[in-house]
Amino acid sequence: MAVDAQDRVVLIGSCKWTNAPADVSEYAALLAGAKAASADLKLDAGTIGTTEGPWLAMFSRSGFTHRIEELAAHQEPRRLLLVSLDALYAV
């Protein structure tokens, strides 16, 4: 989770340290977890996963399946960040 200078949640993420690439099921779990925690995070649960809600990020040791990459690429505007281990080391 990341907050801005006004303590508003601007990003919610999950990290997967598995041998399999992250898939849509992990994205669904991220959405469900964020919605379940929305009251504690002072967020409107209805905004999770929308342009009014915080960015969502998935970090994965083993990369991502084509399905989740397609889902992220076709969001308009894009609100899901996919970050592989290789991408972290490239920075």
Write out 40-89 in H/E/C secondary structure.
CCCCCHHHCCCCCCCEEEEEECCCECHHHHHHHHCCCCCCEEEEEHHHHH
User: Please, which residues bridge with residue 55 across strands?
Assistant: 11
Q: 26-67 pLDDT, tens per residue?
A: 999 999 999 999 999 999 999 998 888 999 999 999 999 999
Tokens 């399946």 locate to 65
Q: 6-18 pLDDT, tens per residue?
A: 999 999 999 999 9
Rg over alpha carbons for the chain, rounded to the nearest Å, is: 13
Model confidence at 88, pLDDT cuts 50, 70, 90, reads confident
pTM confidence score: 0.89
CB 15 within 8 A of CB 59: yes
Residue 79 corresponds to which tokens in the numbers above? Answer: 């609100």
